[in-house]
């Protein structure tokens, strides 16, 4: 999530692009354009837009498949894609701090910018209700992974839908119907998590990656510990590792979780030191090239998460 590339480079690109663009109305999509064009940052937004729009939009995932989201650095080619799009959808200012600064330089009124988190409350990582100890290195940071609470995911779907409709009023009912059906699917997913994670022998899950699953833990009343802070570039301290090893030994948990597109070395170390097994939890920030080509969906990834959580927590 760190901004590593000088923002002035991107602002210069956008300034040049803005000078080449025609002044277009930010209203209804022009009849000459067969499909609206949408650029999204993370995979959940891409998947939400894909389902809502069907074949009525061209949707681009800004993150190249297989790239870890927190280390992403926008490139001039990405900015050109954004400037040419009808709609740009980002997660929130915490997940993509570069977005809000960068987009101040977009001169075209034709671009509809959608903050998908609008109306949803961000949580602090490591606060008491996520069962972190006072003074842990996660405390005080905001957690951007709001899509892992499916009630927030439904809010995000509404925000995406409203953004799409603002550019294509002619297909409003089509988009609303798709969004409503998808929100029902998300509600069923939420209900399945509630049912599946009720009556489990264990209540604690330990993750050898960055602090990504606080929303999920809070939603279902679980105790969650991660090895790293919200930013995966922050290495765990020896004291944190010692606490996690102690937790494994005293809690009797039999599994530790690793995450997608990130080295599992910490999970492997915990497993090696304690004899526990490793399962995967998918934060859905991004997916692999093969998964993208195969049509993997956000809901499918979450159902795999539920399966692995039930195994790790010894649920009936």
Give the model's pLDDT for residue 25.
41
Residue 49 has pLDDT above 50, yes or no: yes
Same fold, 7-188 and 196-312: yes
Per the model's pLDDT, the better-predicted residue between 43 and 75 turns out to be 43
* Among 22, 54, 25, residue whose Cα is nearest residue 38: 54
What φ, ψ does residue 61 adopt, rounded to 5°?
Answer: -90, 115
Across the chain, which distance is largest between two alpha carbons, in Å? 65
Cβ neighbours of 3 (radius 10 Å):
13
**What CATH code would you report for 196-312?**
3.40.50.1980
Residue 15 has pLDDT above 60, yes or no: no
Instruction: Give 3-state DSSP helix, strand, coil % of the chain, rounded to 5.
Output: 45, 15, 40
Give the model's pLDDT for residue 130.
35
Residue 296 has pLDDT above 70, yes or no: yes
User: pTM of the predicted model, to two decimals?
Assistant: 0.85
Q: Write out pLDDT tens, residues 121-154.
A: 899 876 333 333 333 333 457 899 999 999 999 9
Sheet with 255-259, edge to edge strand ranges = 223-226, 204-207, 255-259, 277-281
Residue 110 has pLDDT above 80, yes or no: yes
* Among 90, 264, 257, residue whose Cα is nearest residue 163: 90
Give the model's pLDDT for residue 139.
41
Q: Which fold has domain 7-188?
A: Rossmann fold (3.40.50)
Give the model's pLDDT for residue 2.
44
Give the model's pLDDT for residue 232.
65
Residue 16 has pLDDT above 70, yes or no: no
Q: Domain ranges in the chain?
A: 7-188, 196-312
Percent with pLDDT over 90 in the chain: 60
Helices (H), the chain: 7-20, 43-53, 76-84, 97-103, 150-167, 172-196, 214-219, 238-251, 265-274, 289-293, 298-312
Mean residue pLDDT of the chain comes to 84
């Amino acid at each position: 999530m760190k901004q590593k590339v000088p923002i002035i480079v991107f602002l210069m690109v956008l300034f040049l692009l803005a000078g080449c663009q025609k002044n277009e109305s930010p209203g209804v999509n022009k009849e000459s354009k067969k499909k609206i064009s949408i650029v999204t940052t993370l995979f959940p937004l891409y998947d939400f837009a894909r389902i809502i729009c069907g074949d009525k939009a061209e949707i681009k995932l800004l993150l190249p498949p297989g790239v870890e989201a927190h280390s992403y650095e926008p490139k001039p080619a990405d900015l050109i894609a954004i400037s040419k799009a009808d709609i740009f959808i980002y997660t929130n200012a915490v997940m993509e701090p570069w977005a809000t600064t960068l987009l101040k330089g977009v001169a075209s009124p034709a671009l509809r910018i959608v903050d998908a988190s609008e109306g949803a409350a961000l949580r602090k990582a490591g606060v008491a209700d996520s069962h972190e100890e006072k003074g842990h290195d996660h405390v005080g940071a905001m957690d951007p992974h709001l899509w892992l609470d499916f009630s927030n995911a439904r809010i995000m779907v509404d925000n995406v839908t409203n953004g799409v409709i603002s550019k294509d009023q002619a297909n409003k009912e089509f988009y609303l119907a798709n969004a409503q059906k998808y929100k029902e699917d998300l509600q069923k997913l939420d209900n399945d998590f509630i049912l599946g994670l009720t009556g489990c022998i264990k209540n604690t899950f330990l993750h050898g990656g960055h602090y990504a699953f606080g929303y999920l833990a809070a939603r279902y009343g679980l105790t969650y510990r991660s090895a790293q802070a919200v930013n995966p570039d922050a290495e765990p301290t020896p004291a944190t590792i010692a606490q996690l090893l102690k937790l494994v030994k005293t809690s009797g948990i039999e599994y530790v979780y690793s995450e997608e597109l990130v080295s599992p070395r910490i999970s492997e170390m915990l497993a090696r030191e304690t004899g526990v097994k490793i399962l995967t939890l998918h934060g859905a920030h991004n997916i692999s090239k093969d998964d993208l080509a195969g049509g993997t969906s956000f809901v499918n990834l979450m159902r795999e998460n539920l399966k692995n959580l039930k195994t790790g927590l010894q649920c009936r």
